[in-house]
Structure 1
Amino acid sequence: MDRFEAFNMIAAQAGRGELAFPASVEASVRLQQALVDPDCHVDLAARLVGADPLLAARTVAIANSVAFNRSGTPISSVRGAVHRLGVRTLQSLVAALIVRQLGGTLGDPGLRARAARLWEHTAHTAALAQVISRRVSHVDPDTALFAGIVHEVGAFYALSRAGEFPGLLDGEPDDWLAHGEITLGRSVLGALMVPGHVVRAVEAMWTGMRALPPETLGDTLLLADDLAPVASPMHARPGATTPQAARTIDFAVGDGTLQAILDESRAEVEALRTALMLC
Protein backbone atom coordinates (compact mmCIF):
# COMPACT_ATOMS: atom_id res chain seq x y z
CA MET A 1 0.00 0.00 0.00
CA ASP A 2 1.50 3.36 -0.99
CA ARG A 3 1.25 6.32 1.31
CA PHE A 4 -1.59 7.99 -0.61
CA GLU A 5 -3.69 4.84 -0.25
CA ALA A 6 -2.76 4.76 3.45
CA PHE A 7 -3.75 8.43 3.87
CA ASN A 8 -7.09 7.78 2.20
CA MET A 9 -7.73 4.67 4.31
CA ILE A 10 -6.94 6.43 7.60
CA ALA A 11 -9.02 9.44 6.55
CA ALA A 12 -11.94 7.20 5.56
CA GLN A 13 -11.77 5.40 8.92
CA ALA A 14 -11.71 8.72 10.72
CA GLY A 15 -14.64 9.96 8.67
CA ARG A 16 -16.65 6.96 9.91
CA GLY A 17 -15.61 7.71 13.49
CA GLU A 18 -13.21 4.76 13.59
CA LEU A 19 -10.31 6.37 15.41
CA ALA A 20 -7.58 4.02 16.63
CA PHE A 21 -6.26 5.77 19.73
CA PRO A 22 -3.35 4.05 21.52
CA ALA A 23 -4.40 2.35 24.78
CA SER A 24 -2.50 4.96 26.80
CA VAL A 25 -4.67 7.70 25.29
CA GLU A 26 -8.11 6.09 25.68
CA ALA A 27 -8.41 6.88 29.41
CA SER A 28 -7.49 10.52 28.83
CA VAL A 29 -10.05 10.78 26.02
CA ARG A 30 -12.76 9.43 28.34
CA LEU A 31 -11.71 11.95 31.00
CA GLN A 32 -11.89 14.80 28.47
CA GLN A 33 -15.37 13.68 27.44
CA ALA A 34 -16.43 13.74 31.10
CA LEU A 35 -14.95 17.18 31.74
CA VAL A 36 -16.88 18.81 28.88
CA ASP A 37 -20.17 17.76 30.50
CA PRO A 38 -21.81 20.97 31.84
CA ASP A 39 -22.67 19.08 35.03
CA CYS A 40 -18.99 18.36 35.75
CA HIS A 41 -18.16 20.56 38.77
CA VAL A 42 -14.79 21.12 40.42
CA ASP A 43 -15.14 18.40 43.07
CA LEU A 44 -16.12 15.78 40.49
CA ALA A 45 -13.24 16.90 38.25
CA ALA A 46 -10.85 16.48 41.19
CA ARG A 47 -12.06 12.91 41.75
CA LEU A 48 -11.68 12.09 38.07
CA VAL A 49 -8.15 13.51 37.95
CA GLY A 50 -7.20 11.77 41.18
CA ALA A 51 -8.04 8.42 39.63
CA ASP A 52 -5.15 8.84 37.16
CA PRO A 53 -1.81 9.01 39.05
CA LEU A 54 0.11 10.52 36.12
CA LEU A 55 -2.48 13.21 35.45
CA ALA A 56 -2.83 13.90 39.18
CA ALA A 57 0.91 14.52 39.55
CA ARG A 58 1.05 16.74 36.48
CA THR A 59 -2.02 18.72 37.56
CA VAL A 60 -0.42 19.52 40.92
CA ALA A 61 2.87 20.45 39.22
CA ILE A 62 1.13 22.78 36.77
CA ALA A 63 -0.96 24.38 39.53
CA ASN A 64 2.32 25.17 41.31
CA SER A 65 3.98 26.56 38.18
CA VAL A 66 4.75 30.25 37.74
CA ALA A 67 1.90 30.61 35.24
CA PHE A 68 -0.80 29.55 37.71
CA ASN A 69 0.70 30.14 41.17
CA ARG A 70 0.81 33.91 41.26
CA SER A 71 0.71 34.00 45.07
CA GLY A 72 3.69 31.68 45.50
CA THR A 73 1.65 29.41 47.78
CA PRO A 74 2.37 25.73 47.02
CA ILE A 75 -0.42 23.17 46.70
CA SER A 76 0.03 19.50 47.55
CA SER A 77 -3.41 18.03 46.85
CA VAL A 78 -5.23 17.24 43.63
CA ARG A 79 -8.39 18.88 44.93
CA GLY A 80 -6.50 22.09 45.73
CA ALA A 81 -4.84 22.04 42.31
CA VAL A 82 -8.14 21.59 40.47
CA HIS A 83 -9.76 24.36 42.51
CA ARG A 84 -6.88 26.68 41.62
CA LEU A 85 -6.96 25.85 37.93
CA GLY A 86 -10.73 25.49 37.43
CA VAL A 87 -12.54 23.00 35.20
CA ARG A 88 -12.01 24.97 31.98
CA THR A 89 -8.25 25.18 32.41
CA LEU A 90 -8.24 21.52 33.39
CA GLN A 91 -9.97 20.69 30.08
CA SER A 92 -7.10 22.40 28.28
CA LEU A 93 -4.50 20.50 30.29
CA VAL A 94 -6.17 17.13 29.63
CA ALA A 95 -6.31 18.00 25.93
CA ALA A 96 -2.60 18.82 26.12
CA LEU A 97 -1.93 15.48 27.80
CA ILE A 98 -3.81 13.66 25.03
CA VAL A 99 -1.76 15.45 22.40
CA ARG A 100 1.50 14.64 24.20
CA GLN A 101 0.45 11.02 24.66
CA LEU A 102 -0.26 10.67 20.94
CA GLY A 103 3.27 11.86 20.22
CA GLY A 104 4.77 9.79 23.02
CA THR A 105 3.67 6.44 21.58
CA LEU A 106 6.08 6.64 18.64
CA GLY A 107 8.93 4.18 18.33
CA ASP A 108 10.69 5.69 15.31
CA PRO A 109 13.25 8.35 16.37
CA GLY A 110 12.44 10.52 13.35
CA LEU A 111 8.73 10.51 14.14
CA ARG A 112 9.43 11.21 17.82
CA ALA A 113 11.55 14.21 16.85
CA ARG A 114 8.78 15.50 14.60
CA ALA A 115 6.22 15.05 17.37
CA ALA A 116 8.46 16.87 19.86
CA ARG A 117 8.85 19.81 17.48
CA LEU A 118 5.11 19.82 16.81
CA TRP A 119 4.44 20.02 20.55
CA GLU A 120 6.91 22.91 20.92
CA HIS A 121 5.00 24.70 18.16
CA THR A 122 1.67 23.88 19.83
CA ALA A 123 2.77 25.13 23.26
CA HIS A 124 4.07 28.42 21.81
CA THR A 125 0.88 28.92 19.76
CA ALA A 126 -1.41 28.21 22.72
CA ALA A 127 0.47 30.58 25.04
CA LEU A 128 0.51 33.36 22.44
CA ALA A 129 -3.18 32.81 21.64
CA GLN A 130 -4.14 33.35 25.27
CA VAL A 131 -2.17 36.60 25.54
CA ILE A 132 -3.37 37.93 22.16
CA SER A 133 -6.97 37.11 23.06
CA ARG A 134 -6.75 38.99 26.35
CA ARG A 135 -4.77 42.00 25.15
CA VAL A 136 -5.72 42.41 21.49
CA SER A 137 -8.76 40.55 20.11
CA HIS A 138 -10.69 40.34 23.42
CA VAL A 139 -12.08 36.88 22.79
CA ASP A 140 -12.25 34.47 25.73
CA PRO A 141 -8.65 33.69 26.84
CA ASP A 142 -9.48 30.21 28.19
CA THR A 143 -11.05 29.28 24.86
CA ALA A 144 -8.05 30.67 22.97
CA LEU A 145 -5.68 28.58 25.10
CA PHE A 146 -7.74 25.45 24.45
CA ALA A 147 -7.94 26.16 20.71
CA GLY A 148 -4.18 26.61 20.56
CA ILE A 149 -3.62 23.27 22.28
CA VAL A 150 -5.91 21.28 19.97
CA HIS A 151 -5.20 23.07 16.66
CA GLU A 152 -2.72 20.38 15.49
CA VAL A 153 -4.38 17.35 17.10
CA GLY A 154 -5.11 15.80 13.70
CA ALA A 155 -1.40 15.96 12.88
CA PHE A 156 -0.55 14.23 16.16
CA TYR A 157 -3.06 11.52 15.32
CA ALA A 158 -1.46 11.07 11.89
CA LEU A 159 1.95 10.75 13.56
CA SER A 160 0.55 8.13 15.96
CA ARG A 161 -0.56 6.02 12.95
CA ALA A 162 2.58 6.59 10.88
CA GLY A 163 4.40 3.66 12.47
CA GLU A 164 1.87 1.31 10.85
CA PHE A 165 2.54 2.78 7.41
CA PRO A 166 6.25 3.39 6.72
CA GLY A 167 6.78 6.54 4.68
CA LEU A 168 3.29 7.89 5.38
CA LEU A 169 4.57 11.38 6.18
CA ASP A 170 7.68 11.41 4.01
CA GLY A 171 6.22 13.40 1.12
CA GLU A 172 5.69 17.08 0.52
CA PRO A 173 3.83 19.11 3.17
CA ASP A 174 0.98 19.66 0.71
CA ASP A 175 0.31 15.90 0.75
CA TRP A 176 -0.73 16.09 4.41
CA LEU A 177 -2.84 19.15 3.73
CA ALA A 178 -4.56 17.55 0.75
CA HIS A 179 -5.02 13.99 1.98
CA GLY A 180 -5.42 14.07 5.73
CA GLU A 181 -5.51 17.30 7.69
CA ILE A 182 -9.13 18.33 7.31
CA THR A 183 -10.72 14.88 7.62
CA LEU A 184 -8.48 13.72 10.45
CA GLY A 185 -8.58 17.08 12.19
CA ARG A 186 -12.37 17.25 12.24
CA SER A 187 -12.71 13.62 13.30
CA VAL A 188 -10.28 13.83 16.21
CA LEU A 189 -11.73 17.16 17.36
CA GLY A 190 -15.15 15.48 17.28
CA ALA A 191 -13.92 12.52 19.32
CA LEU A 192 -12.63 14.95 21.96
CA MET A 193 -16.03 16.70 21.94
CA VAL A 194 -14.42 20.03 21.11
CA PRO A 195 -17.10 22.76 20.95
CA GLY A 196 -18.25 23.82 17.50
CA HIS A 197 -16.96 27.39 17.74
CA VAL A 198 -13.47 26.10 18.54
CA VAL A 199 -13.64 23.64 15.63
CA ARG A 200 -14.59 26.51 13.33
CA ALA A 201 -11.62 28.54 14.59
CA VAL A 202 -9.28 25.63 13.84
CA GLU A 203 -10.88 25.24 10.41
CA ALA A 204 -9.93 28.88 9.74
CA MET A 205 -6.31 27.70 9.82
CA TRP A 206 -7.00 25.37 6.90
CA THR A 207 -8.00 28.32 4.72
CA GLY A 208 -5.20 30.56 6.00
CA MET A 209 -7.33 33.71 6.00
CA ARG A 210 -7.33 36.15 8.87
CA ALA A 211 -7.86 39.81 9.68
CA LEU A 212 -5.31 42.19 11.19
CA PRO A 213 -5.85 43.31 13.86
CA PRO A 214 -7.46 39.98 14.84
CA GLU A 215 -11.18 40.11 15.56
CA THR A 216 -12.30 36.51 16.02
CA LEU A 217 -11.03 33.37 17.73
CA GLY A 218 -9.90 32.11 14.31
CA ASP A 219 -7.98 35.33 13.65
CA THR A 220 -6.39 35.05 17.09
CA LEU A 221 -5.30 31.48 16.50
CA LEU A 222 -3.88 32.25 13.06
CA LEU A 223 -1.86 35.21 14.35
CA ALA A 224 -0.51 33.15 17.25
CA ASP A 225 0.42 30.37 14.84
CA ASP A 226 2.26 32.85 12.61
CA LEU A 227 4.13 34.36 15.55
CA ALA A 228 5.15 31.06 17.16
CA PRO A 229 8.97 30.94 17.06
CA VAL A 230 8.89 27.18 16.39
CA ALA A 231 7.11 26.36 13.12
CA SER A 232 4.94 23.29 12.64
CA PRO A 233 6.99 20.50 11.02
CA MET A 234 3.92 19.14 9.24
CA HIS A 235 3.26 21.80 6.63
CA ALA A 236 3.22 25.42 5.67
CA ARG A 237 -0.37 26.65 5.56
CA PRO A 238 -1.63 28.22 2.32
CA GLY A 239 -0.95 31.92 2.67
CA ALA A 240 0.98 31.42 5.90
CA THR A 241 3.37 34.17 6.90
CA THR A 242 7.03 33.22 6.61
CA PRO A 243 9.03 33.24 9.88
CA GLN A 244 10.96 36.28 8.65
CA ALA A 245 7.77 38.17 7.75
CA ALA A 246 6.05 37.14 10.98
CA ARG A 247 8.70 38.99 12.96
CA THR A 248 7.65 42.21 11.22
CA ILE A 249 3.92 41.92 12.01
CA ASP A 250 2.86 44.95 14.01
CA PHE A 251 -0.18 47.17 14.23
CA ALA A 252 -1.75 49.72 16.53
CA VAL A 253 -3.68 48.45 19.56
CA GLY A 254 -5.25 51.25 21.57
CA ASP A 255 -2.43 53.53 22.69
CA GLY A 256 0.24 50.94 21.91
CA THR A 257 1.24 48.35 19.36
CA LEU A 258 1.19 44.58 19.05
CA GLN A 259 4.98 44.44 19.43
CA ALA A 260 4.82 46.45 22.65
CA ILE A 261 2.19 44.06 24.02
CA LEU A 262 4.28 41.03 23.06
CA ASP A 263 7.35 42.59 24.71
CA GLU A 264 5.39 43.31 27.89
CA SER A 265 3.93 39.79 27.88
CA ARG A 266 7.13 37.89 27.09
CA ALA A 267 7.52 36.52 30.63
CA GLU A 268 3.83 35.60 30.78
CA VAL A 269 3.98 33.72 27.48
CA GLU A 270 7.12 31.87 28.54
CA ALA A 271 5.62 30.92 31.92
CA LEU A 272 2.53 29.47 30.26
CA ARG A 273 4.58 27.67 27.60
CA THR A 274 6.73 26.16 30.32
CA ALA A 275 3.63 25.01 32.21
CA LEU A 276 2.27 23.33 29.07
CA MET A 277 5.56 21.51 28.58
CA LEU A 278 4.85 19.79 31.93
CA CYS A 279 1.83 18.02 30.42
Structure 2
Amino acid sequence: MDRKLALQELADQAGNGELVFPTGVDVSLKLLQQLDDPDCHVDQAVQLVKGSPLLAARIVAVANSAAYSRSGQAVTDLRTAISRIGLRTTRTLTMAITTQQMAGQSASPEIAKLTRQLWEHTAHVAALAQTIARRITHQDPETAFFAGIVHEIAGFYLISRAAGNPGLLSGDPADWTEESEPRIARAILTRIGTPQAVTDSLDNLWEGLLSLPPVTLGDTLLLANELAPVASPLYQDQPPRAPDMAPVIDALVDDAMLSSILEESASEVASLVDALRF
Protein backbone atom coordinates (compact mmCIF):
# COMPACT_ATOMS: atom_id res chain seq x y z
CA MET A 1 0.00 0.00 0.00
CA ASP A 2 1.11 3.57 -0.71
CA ARG A 3 2.71 5.05 2.43
CA LYS A 4 0.50 8.14 2.47
CA LEU A 5 -2.64 6.03 2.18
CA ALA A 6 -1.37 3.63 4.86
CA LEU A 7 -0.76 6.53 7.24
CA GLN A 8 -4.21 7.93 6.53
CA GLU A 9 -5.79 4.56 7.20
CA LEU A 10 -3.88 4.28 10.48
CA ALA A 11 -5.06 7.77 11.47
CA ASP A 12 -8.66 6.93 10.51
CA GLN A 13 -8.56 3.81 12.67
CA ALA A 14 -7.16 5.77 15.62
CA GLY A 15 -9.80 8.46 15.17
CA ASN A 16 -12.47 5.76 15.35
CA GLY A 17 -11.01 4.47 18.60
CA GLU A 18 -9.36 1.45 16.94
CA LEU A 19 -6.03 1.66 18.75
CA VAL A 20 -3.92 -1.49 18.78
CA PHE A 21 -1.43 -1.36 21.65
CA PRO A 22 1.57 -3.67 22.08
CA THR A 23 1.77 -6.09 25.00
CA GLY A 24 2.12 -4.36 28.35
CA VAL A 25 0.56 -1.03 27.43
CA ASP A 26 -2.90 -1.91 28.77
CA VAL A 27 -1.38 -2.84 32.14
CA SER A 28 0.47 0.49 32.28
CA LEU A 29 -2.70 2.37 31.31
CA LYS A 30 -4.53 0.68 34.18
CA LEU A 31 -1.74 1.73 36.55
CA LEU A 32 -2.01 5.30 35.24
CA GLN A 33 -5.72 5.28 35.96
CA GLN A 34 -5.16 4.03 39.50
CA LEU A 35 -2.49 6.66 40.19
CA ASP A 36 -4.84 9.34 38.83
CA ASP A 37 -7.48 8.51 41.43
CA PRO A 38 -7.89 11.58 43.72
CA ASP A 39 -8.00 9.23 46.71
CA CYS A 40 -4.63 7.67 45.85
CA HIS A 41 -2.03 8.44 48.53
CA VAL A 42 1.67 7.79 48.81
CA ASP A 43 1.40 4.41 50.55
CA GLN A 44 -1.08 3.17 47.96
CA ALA A 45 1.15 4.47 45.14
CA VAL A 46 4.09 2.57 46.60
CA GLN A 47 2.14 -0.69 46.53
CA LEU A 48 1.00 -0.05 42.95
CA VAL A 49 4.48 0.83 41.69
CA LYS A 50 6.08 -2.19 43.36
CA GLY A 51 4.45 -4.31 40.68
CA SER A 52 6.67 -2.63 38.06
CA PRO A 53 10.38 -2.95 38.92
CA LEU A 54 11.36 -0.83 35.90
CA LEU A 55 9.09 2.01 36.99
CA ALA A 56 10.30 1.75 40.59
CA ALA A 57 13.91 2.01 39.43
CA ARG A 58 13.13 5.10 37.30
CA ILE A 59 11.32 6.79 40.19
CA VAL A 60 14.31 6.34 42.48
CA ALA A 61 16.68 7.55 39.74
CA VAL A 62 14.64 10.68 39.08
CA ALA A 63 14.29 11.36 42.81
CA ASN A 64 18.09 11.37 43.01
CA SER A 65 18.52 13.63 39.97
CA ALA A 66 19.69 17.20 40.47
CA ALA A 67 16.25 18.48 39.43
CA TYR A 68 14.59 16.87 42.47
CA SER A 69 17.40 16.27 44.97
CA ARG A 70 18.05 19.81 46.14
CA SER A 71 19.76 18.62 49.30
CA GLY A 72 21.99 16.19 47.43
CA GLN A 73 21.00 13.43 49.85
CA ALA A 74 20.45 10.16 48.00
CA VAL A 75 17.32 8.07 48.56
CA THR A 76 17.23 4.32 48.12
CA ASP A 77 13.69 3.31 49.07
CA LEU A 78 10.60 3.71 46.91
CA ARG A 79 8.40 5.42 49.50
CA THR A 80 10.90 8.20 50.15
CA ALA A 81 11.46 8.60 46.42
CA ILE A 82 7.73 8.99 45.68
CA SER A 83 7.35 11.38 48.62
CA ARG A 84 10.19 13.48 47.20
CA ILE A 85 8.98 13.73 43.61
CA GLY A 86 5.24 13.68 44.35
CA LEU A 87 2.36 11.73 42.85
CA ARG A 88 2.15 13.92 39.72
CA THR A 89 5.72 13.14 38.72
CA THR A 90 5.16 9.49 39.63
CA ARG A 91 2.29 9.48 37.15
CA THR A 92 4.44 11.23 34.53
CA LEU A 93 7.14 8.58 34.89
CA THR A 94 4.48 5.89 34.52
CA MET A 95 3.48 7.70 31.33
CA ALA A 96 7.13 7.65 30.24
CA ILE A 97 7.21 3.86 30.42
CA THR A 98 3.82 3.65 28.72
CA THR A 99 5.07 5.89 25.91
CA GLN A 100 8.10 3.68 25.33
CA GLN A 101 5.93 0.58 25.40
CA MET A 102 3.90 2.07 22.54
CA ALA A 103 6.78 1.16 20.21
CA GLY A 104 6.61 -2.51 21.15
CA GLN A 105 9.53 -4.92 20.87
CA SER A 106 11.16 -5.25 17.47
CA ALA A 107 13.75 -7.78 16.35
CA SER A 108 14.97 -5.30 13.74
CA PRO A 109 18.22 -3.54 14.78
CA GLU A 110 17.24 -0.56 12.62
CA ILE A 111 13.87 -0.11 14.32
CA ALA A 112 15.42 -0.65 17.76
CA LYS A 113 17.98 2.08 17.00
CA LEU A 114 15.23 4.41 15.79
CA THR A 115 13.23 3.78 18.99
CA ARG A 116 16.27 4.56 21.17
CA GLN A 117 16.89 7.83 19.34
CA LEU A 118 13.24 8.83 19.58
CA TRP A 119 13.32 8.24 23.33
CA GLU A 120 16.61 10.13 23.70
CA HIS A 121 14.98 13.06 21.91
CA THR A 122 11.91 12.75 24.14
CA ALA A 123 13.97 12.72 27.33
CA HIS A 124 15.83 15.88 26.34
CA VAL A 125 12.63 17.71 25.39
CA ALA A 126 10.93 16.72 28.66
CA ALA A 127 13.87 17.84 30.80
CA LEU A 128 14.30 21.11 28.88
CA ALA A 129 10.55 21.81 28.98
CA GLN A 130 10.57 21.51 32.77
CA THR A 131 13.47 23.97 33.07
CA ILE A 132 12.07 26.45 30.53
CA ALA A 133 8.68 26.38 32.27
CA ARG A 134 10.24 27.07 35.65
CA ARG A 135 12.77 29.70 34.57
CA ILE A 136 11.38 31.43 31.46
CA THR A 137 7.69 30.96 30.64
CA HIS A 138 6.56 30.49 34.26
CA GLN A 139 4.26 27.62 33.39
CA ASP A 140 3.71 24.69 35.72
CA PRO A 141 6.98 22.70 35.44
CA GLU A 142 5.35 19.32 36.08
CA THR A 143 2.76 19.88 33.34
CA ALA A 144 5.56 20.89 30.97
CA PHE A 145 7.51 17.77 31.95
CA PHE A 146 4.47 15.61 31.16
CA ALA A 147 3.92 17.40 27.83
CA GLY A 148 7.52 16.70 26.87
CA ILE A 149 7.14 13.02 27.73
CA VAL A 150 4.08 12.57 25.48
CA HIS A 151 4.94 14.94 22.62
CA GLU A 152 6.15 12.04 20.40
CA ILE A 153 3.65 9.44 21.60
CA ALA A 154 2.18 9.03 18.11
CA GLY A 155 5.68 8.32 16.80
CA PHE A 156 6.15 5.43 19.20
CA TYR A 157 2.75 4.08 18.18
CA LEU A 158 3.75 4.38 14.51
CA ILE A 159 6.88 2.31 15.16
CA SER A 160 4.80 -0.51 16.63
CA ARG A 161 2.45 -0.55 13.64
CA ALA A 162 5.38 -0.54 11.20
CA ALA A 163 6.35 -4.11 12.13
CA GLY A 164 4.24 -5.49 9.29
CA ASN A 165 4.80 -2.51 7.03
CA PRO A 166 8.35 -1.10 7.31
CA GLY A 167 7.51 1.43 4.60
CA LEU A 168 5.60 3.42 7.21
CA LEU A 169 8.92 4.65 8.60
CA SER A 170 10.41 5.89 5.35
CA GLY A 171 9.52 8.52 2.79
CA ASP A 172 8.54 12.17 3.05
CA PRO A 173 8.20 13.17 6.74
CA ALA A 174 5.45 15.60 5.73
CA ASP A 175 3.20 12.61 4.99
CA TRP A 176 3.44 11.75 8.68
CA THR A 177 3.47 15.13 10.38
CA GLU A 178 0.88 17.14 8.45
CA GLU A 179 -2.20 15.12 9.38
CA SER A 180 -1.55 11.59 10.58
CA GLU A 181 0.57 12.40 13.63
CA PRO A 182 -1.86 14.91 15.21
CA ARG A 183 -4.88 12.64 14.64
CA ILE A 184 -3.19 9.58 16.14
CA ALA A 185 -1.73 11.54 19.04
CA ARG A 186 -5.09 13.09 19.93
CA ALA A 187 -6.74 9.66 19.89
CA ILE A 188 -4.13 8.21 22.24
CA LEU A 189 -4.13 11.24 24.55
CA THR A 190 -7.93 11.12 24.76
CA ARG A 191 -7.75 7.43 25.62
CA ILE A 192 -5.40 8.08 28.54
CA GLY A 193 -7.30 11.13 29.79
CA THR A 194 -4.63 13.74 29.12
CA PRO A 195 -5.37 17.27 30.41
CA GLN A 196 -6.59 19.64 27.70
CA ALA A 197 -3.73 22.07 28.39
CA VAL A 198 -1.23 19.41 27.31
CA THR A 199 -3.14 18.58 24.13
CA ASP A 200 -3.36 22.29 23.31
CA SER A 201 0.41 22.64 23.75
CA LEU A 202 0.92 19.84 21.24
CA ASP A 203 -1.30 21.71 18.79
CA ASN A 204 1.14 24.61 19.12
CA LEU A 205 4.04 22.26 18.50
CA TRP A 206 2.48 20.82 15.33
CA GLU A 207 1.59 24.29 14.04
CA GLY A 208 5.00 25.70 14.93
CA LEU A 209 3.54 28.93 16.31
CA LEU A 210 5.76 30.67 18.87
CA SER A 211 4.55 33.81 20.62
CA LEU A 212 7.13 36.46 21.47
CA PRO A 213 8.12 36.59 24.19
CA PRO A 214 7.34 32.92 24.88
CA VAL A 215 4.79 32.60 27.67
CA THR A 216 2.49 29.62 27.03
CA LEU A 217 2.87 25.90 27.60
CA GLY A 218 2.96 25.54 23.82
CA ASP A 219 5.85 28.02 23.61
CA THR A 220 7.61 26.04 26.33
CA LEU A 221 7.33 22.83 24.32
CA LEU A 222 8.36 24.51 21.06
CA LEU A 223 11.51 25.94 22.62
CA ALA A 224 12.40 22.64 24.28
CA ASN A 225 11.92 20.78 21.01
CA GLU A 226 14.05 23.30 19.13
CA LEU A 227 16.84 23.19 21.70
CA ALA A 228 16.98 19.42 22.13
CA PRO A 229 20.47 18.27 21.08
CA VAL A 230 19.02 15.00 19.71
CA ALA A 231 16.55 15.36 16.84
CA SER A 232 13.56 13.12 16.33
CA PRO A 233 14.50 10.42 13.79
CA LEU A 234 11.00 10.64 12.29
CA TYR A 235 11.74 14.02 10.73
CA GLN A 236 14.38 12.96 8.27
CA ASP A 237 14.50 16.22 6.34
CA GLN A 238 15.50 18.27 9.36
CA PRO A 239 19.19 19.03 10.03
CA PRO A 240 20.70 18.10 13.41
CA ARG A 241 20.14 20.61 16.19
CA ALA A 242 22.85 23.28 16.26
CA PRO A 243 24.83 23.31 19.54
CA ASP A 244 24.82 27.13 19.52
CA MET A 245 21.05 27.44 19.09
CA ALA A 246 20.47 29.04 22.50
CA PRO A 247 22.28 32.33 21.72
CA VAL A 248 20.26 32.63 18.51
CA ILE A 249 16.98 32.18 20.36
CA ASP A 250 18.05 34.75 22.98
CA ALA A 251 16.84 37.42 20.58
CA LEU A 252 13.41 35.81 20.56
CA VAL A 253 12.91 35.69 24.32
CA ASP A 254 13.60 39.34 24.97
CA ASP A 255 15.21 39.82 28.40
CA ALA A 256 14.93 36.20 29.49
CA MET A 257 18.56 35.48 28.53
CA LEU A 258 17.80 31.93 27.51
CA SER A 259 21.36 30.78 26.94
CA SER A 260 22.43 32.03 30.38
CA ILE A 261 19.50 30.35 32.09
CA LEU A 262 20.10 27.07 30.28
CA GLU A 263 23.78 27.19 31.15
CA GLU A 264 22.90 27.60 34.82
CA SER A 265 20.46 24.69 34.59
CA ALA A 266 22.63 22.41 32.45
CA SER A 267 23.53 20.04 35.27
CA GLU A 268 19.87 19.64 36.27
CA VAL A 269 18.83 18.93 32.67
CA ALA A 270 21.68 16.46 32.13
CA SER A 271 20.93 14.68 35.40
CA LEU A 272 17.23 14.34 34.58
CA VAL A 273 17.90 13.13 31.03
CA ASP A 274 20.24 10.50 32.44
CA ALA A 275 17.59 9.38 34.95
CA LEU A 276 15.04 9.03 32.15
CA ARG A 277 17.22 6.68 30.09
CA PHE A 278 15.85 3.16 30.01
Which residue of 2 is the match for residue 246 of structure 1? 245
Percent of aligned positions with the same letter in both sequences? 49
TM-fit CA distance, 1:254? 8.5
Indicate conservation of the 8 Å contact 2:58/2:275, yes or no.
no
Pairwise CA distance, 1:229: 0.9
* CA–CA distance in structure 2, aligned partners of residues 190 and 227 of structure 1: 28
Bigger Cα displacement from structure 2, 146-155 vs 46-55: 46-55
Out of 70-79 and 186-195, give the one that drifted further: 70-79
Deviation at 1:183, TM superposition (A): 0.9
Count of aligned pairs between the two proteins: 276
Q: What's 2:273 paired with? A: 273
Match of 1:168 in 2: 168
Task: Report deviation, 1:51.
Answer: 2.2
Does 1:94 pair with 2:108? no
Q: Scaled by the length of structure 2, what TM-score is found?
A: 0.90
RMSD, matched Cα: 2.3
Q: Structure 2: which 5+ residue stretches go unaligned?
A: none
Equivalence for 1:82: 82
Q: In 2, are the aligned partners of 1:103 and 1:116 still within 8 Å (CA)?
A: no
User: Structure 1 residues 10 and 256, CA, compared in 2 at 3 Å: closer, same or farther?
Assistant: closer
Query: 1:253, CA displacement in angstroms?
Result: 6.7
Letter in 1 for 2:76: S
Is the Cα contact below 8 Å between 1:67 and 1:275 reproduced in 2? Answer: no
2:180 corresponds to which residue?
180
Q: Is the 8 A contact 1:252 1:258 kept in 2?
A: no
What's the counterpart of residue 132 of structure 1? 132
Q: Name the SS of the counterpart of 2:206 in structure 1.
A: helix
Partner in structure 2 of residue 151 of structure 1: 151
Q: How does 1:1-279 map to 2 (within 5 A)?
A: 1-103=1-103, 105-235=105-235, 243-244=241-242, 246-247=245-246, 248-251=248-251, 257-278=257-278
In structure 1, stretches of 5+ residues that fail to align are none
Please state how far the C-alpha of 1:150 moved relative to its aligned partner: 0.6
Which whole-Å deviations, capped at 9, do the CAs of 1:29-49 have from their partners, x for residues lacking one?
211122223332222222211
- CA change 1:92–1:108 in 2 (3 A) is same
**Structure 1 pair 266/65, CA: closer, same or farther in 2 (3 Å)?**
closer
Pairwise CA distance, 1:158 = 0.6
**TM-score (ref. length: structure 1):** 0.90
